[in-house]
Structure 1
Amino acid sequence: MIKIRKRLADTGFGVLALIVFVFSAFPVYWMINTSFLPNNRIRGENLAFFPTPDVFTLNNYRAAMFGEERAPFPPAVLNSMGVTFLTVVIALVVGFAAALALTRFDFKGRRTFILMILVVQMIPGEAMIISLFRIIDGWLLLNTIIGLTLVNIVGVLPFTVWTLRGFVNGVPKELEEAAMIDGCSRATAFWRITFPLLAPGLVATGVFAFIQAWNEFVMALVIMQRPDAMTLPLWLRTFVQATQATNWGAVMAAAVLIAIPVVIFFLIVQGRMTGGLVSGAVKG
């Protein structure tokens, strides 16, 4: 009787998980499906749930990437890649150093600093738009990758420090002390024992920083005002215009193009999010 109940419970949870997956994945599927359909099959009664050979088209991608009525696609890709790369690298380096200082050292004002990190996270980013704009404008960094990167780091860094602090705090100091007893220096013990255990935390935090920097829209709208300085979210906004009908096929194709780098990045790093959990803890 207990086994039957357990099987029914497992089946019920499996069905529930499948329903949640379908509801979560269907919008993504519909976006991809729509990107391969002509506009007369996207809206109305004659919808196509599958891009069959008679309706399959790549014109939406051509219109999205090479259309002359909107901002060019290549500069937007390069701008987004540059801003995202710098944001992730700088946020991880600075956040990791701050997390180590907060966890491994006891200094005056440590608790106040930790509290201030929480307070900063509670402030909506929109509340700081005017201040950040004045600062970036005063530094002559409007419409530059460096300017938007600095703004993104301001938004990402508090969460990065707080998250990495939890990972660093979860690694016992005794592991480093044991390695030092075996003859390692403090730096060698850290890089060979502690750092591999922190790699999953760095990857997970980097994924968050990557997604936030890649999808940033409000701050980019304020900082990057020239067409050649647009990032991909701003480039996507140019598809909707008040003076003409929206080409929804091109919009969906552009959305797919924006999502592809995020998916590729996650597929590259997802195996390392758990692969380093136990590496470095075994002597030998």
Structure 2
Amino acid sequence: MTSTVNPTPAIPAVAVAPHPTPTAQARSTARTGTERSGNRRFKPGRVALGVIGVVVSLIWVFPVYWMLNSSLLPNVVLQNTTPTWLPFGGSFDNFVAVFEGGTFLPALGMSTAIAFITVTFCLLLAFFGALAISRFRFRGRKTFVLAVLLIQMLPAEGLFIAQYKMMGSLNLLNSIVGVSIIYIAAVVPFTIWMLRGFVAGVPADLEEAAMIDGLSRTQAFMRITFPLLAPGLIASGVYAFLQAWNEFTVALVLLQNNSDQTLPLWLRGFIQASASRATDWGQVMAASTMVAVPVIIFFLFVQGRMTSGLVSGAVKG
């Protein structure tokens, strides 16, 4: 009897890639670095645009620097024909003189109260208005949108007499409430139009999906949609704040008592009082700096959200 022996199957040879040597890795890294440097080669046009951007930024920042520099120098130095570019030897005497009058803090409190009321009610009213325009279809919707646009075209100066008589009949002259009502009425239309782009940029399908998962309409809106609108609310709030903080003409018409003044009116009165004894530009610049400081502090808190809100609104609008 013969036995048959099965031959052992041959194992196919597997090609193993050789491990790259340190020299090969160095060549690959050098090649990659060369490609990247080639992509980032010197471009005169880009450098020229960068230089122009820096020059424009310096021109924009220079008035702010000059205001701060002049606020630290005495009036004798400022009246010299040779400009002093750095405040060496300066002091805070001009700022002390601003506070000595005793009128800055009341004006600061009044401006802060008016700005707070204006921003709060503008955001509240504009938010509901933008939500109604973007989310609901109702009779008179197009008319409402056109009314919002037309109100922005009305010149503010043409409304002064009517506003004065209306506030006078309501006994709201020389009051925070009266000025705040006028500011809210002036700022709300544009704020509605601004927020409309943010609300329209958030798909309603997100709320519907949340409602399918068991949330009510209010819960879905507060948990899903409202956080996405936060950048838009911040950007709109900044606009309302600047309008209320820097406004001058309406306050000049409605606030006639020297004891009831906003910061722009106080600054005008401060300049006039200084002019009666030859204008002390150091004190005027110190007063201007004190008016600008609250705005700078406000921007430091909201600048991150404000930037994302403006970019988001530009994309989604």
* TM-score, normalisation: structure 2: 0.82
Q: What is the CA–CA distance in structure 1 between the aligned matches of 2:82 and 2:55, rounded to whole Å?
A: 26
Aligned to 1:173: 204
The superposition leaves residues 5-50 of structure 1 with CA deviations (integer Å, 9 ceiling, x where unpaired) of 8632221221111011001000000000000000011133232111
Gaps of 5+ in 1: 279-284
Aligned to 2:4: none
Aligned to 2:96: 62
Q: What is the CA–CA distance in structure 2 between the aligned matches of 1:252 and 1:78, rounded to whole Å?
A: 20
3-state SS of paired residue (1:108): coil
Instruction: Say if 1:91 and 1:160, in contact at 8 Å, map to a contact too.
Output: yes
Q: If you compute each CA radius of gyration, which structure gives the higher value, 1 or 2? A: 2
The structural deviation recorded for 1:183 is 1.7
Q: What is the CA–CA distance in structure 1 between the aligned matches of 2:267 and 2:110, rounded to whole Å?
A: 14
Q: Give the 3 Å change call, closer, same or farther, for CA 101–270 of structure 1 in structure 2.
A: same
Q: What is the CA–CA distance in structure 1 between the aligned matches of 2:233 and 2:48, rounded to whole Å?
A: 36
Map 1:100-139; keep pairs closer than 5 Å: 100-139=131-170
Instruction: Say if 1:239 and 1:246, in contact at 8 Å, map to a contact too.
Output: no
Aligned to 1:248: 281
The superposition leaves residues 155-196 of structure 1 with CA deviations (integer Å, 9 ceiling, x where unpaired) of 111111110111111111111111112222111111111111
Instruction: Say if 1:171 and 1:194, in contact at 8 Å, map to a contact too.
Output: yes
Letter matched to residue 67 of structure 1: G
The superposition leaves residues 185-241 of structure 1 with CA deviations (integer Å, 9 ceiling, x where unpaired) of 111111111111110000000000001100010000111111111000000001232
Query: How many residues of Structure 1 are paired with residues of Structure 2 in the alignment?
Result: 273
The superposition leaves residues 246-279 of structure 1 with CA deviations (integer Å, 9 ceiling, x where unpaired) of 111111101111111111111101122356899x
Q: What is the CA–CA distance in structure 1 between the aligned matches of 2:61 and 2:283, rounded to whole Å?
A: 21
Map 1:26-45; keep pairs closer than 5 Å: 26-45=62-81
2:296 to 249, 256, 263: 263
Letter matched to residue 200 of structure 1: P
Q: What is the CA–CA distance in structure 2 between the aligned matches of 1:65 and 1:125, rounded to whole Å?
A: 33
3-state SS of paired residue (1:209): helix
2:245 to 186, 196, 214: 214
Range with greater deviation from structure 2 (130-139 or 236-245)? 236-245
Q: What is the CA–CA distance in structure 2 between the aligned matches of 1:205 and 1:3, rounded to whole Å?
A: 40
Q: What is the CA–CA distance in structure 2 between the aligned matches of 1:273 and 1:45, rounded to whole Å?
A: 42
Aligned to 1:281: none
The superposition leaves residues 128-157 of structure 1 with CA deviations (integer Å, 9 ceiling, x where unpaired) of 100101101110001100000001111111
The structural deviation recorded for 1:3 is 5.1
Map 1:130-149; keep pairs closer than 5 Å: 130-149=161-180
Q: What is the CA–CA distance in structure 2 between the aligned matches of 1:178 and 1:275, rounded to whole Å?
A: 26
Q: Give the 3 Å change call, closer, same or farther, for CA 6–138 of structure 1 in structure 2.
A: farther
Gaps of 5+ in 2: 1-37, 313-317
Letter matched to residue 231 of structure 1: T
Q: What is the CA–CA distance in structure 2 between the aligned matches of 1:95 and 1:30, rounded to whole Å?
A: 38
* TM-score, normalisation: structure 1: 0.91
Instruction: Say if 2:238 and 2:306, in contact at 8 Å, map to a contact too.
Output: no
Aligned to 2:23: none
Letter matched to residue 289 of structure 2: V
Root mean square deviation, CA, Å: 2.0
3-state SS of paired residue (1:140): coil
Instruction: Say if 2:235 and 2:305, in contact at 8 Å, map to a contact too.
Output: no
Q: What is the CA–CA distance in structure 2 between the aligned matches of 1:257 and 1:28, rounded to whole Å?
A: 12
